[in-house]
Amino acid sequence: MYNRIMAASDHLQGEQLRMFMRPREVMALVTESVDRPVGLSSTVSSTPGWTMEKVWEGKRKDLDDSHAGLEEDVEIHGVQKPITIVPPHKENPEGYTMGQGHHRVVAAEMAEDATGDEQYIPVQYDKDFNYGHYGDIIWPYGAKLT
C-alpha cells in the first residue's frame, strides 16, 4: 500500500477561490470591471456595445501609452502585487468583478505571449471592495457590498 501524493489543484472544488491564476483565466472569470470609460456610470454589461474585451483592449493600449516597462518588469519578476477580484455581489450577482490590477493582468498576458513562460498572478478576493455607489471609487475602502 502506498500513499498517493495529490497536487493542491486536485483538491479544488468548483466554487473554491484560487489564490493564483494565469492572465487568460482572470479574463475569462471576470464579467464586470470597476473601470468605466469616461462619462460612463453604468455597468459594462448594461452598456450597449461595451464589453469586457473592450476594457482589456483599452488596458493593452495603456501599456503602450502610459505604462511602458510594466510588461518587461513582469517578464523578469512576475506579477508581485495581488490583483483584486470582487466575488458575486448585489451589483453583479452572477459573476466576478475586476477590481484592481487590470494592467498587471494584461502585462502578464503579453509576457506569456512574448516568452512562452506561464505567468501566475496572485489574487485577492474582496467582497468589501472600494465602492460607495456602484462605480464610484472610494479610497481607501468604503461602503460594504451585501
Report the predicted TM-score, pTM, of the whole model to 2 decimal places.
Answer: 0.75
pLDDT tens for 98-121 read: 989 999 999 999 999 999 999 999
Share of the chain above pLDDT 90, in %: 38
Complete domains list, the chain, with CATH: 19-36+49-146 (3.90.1530)
pLDDT tens for 88-99 read: 887 778 889 898
pLDDT tens for 17-43 read: 789 999 999 999 998 888 765 555 556
Greater pLDDT, 14 or 29: 29
pLDDT tens for 64-75 read: 777 778 888 999
**Residue 12 to residue 8: CA distance in whole angstroms:** 7
Task: State how far the alpha carbon of 97 is from the alpha carbons of 71, 86, 116, in Å.
Answer: 23, 5, 28
First to last CA, the chain: 49
Q: Looking up cell 481607501, which residue turns up? A: 140
DSSP 64-112: HHT-TTHHHHHHHH---SPEEEEPSBTTBTTSEEE-S-HHHHHHHHHHH
**Residue 40 to residue 49: CA distance in whole angstroms:** 12
pLDDT value, residue 40 = 57
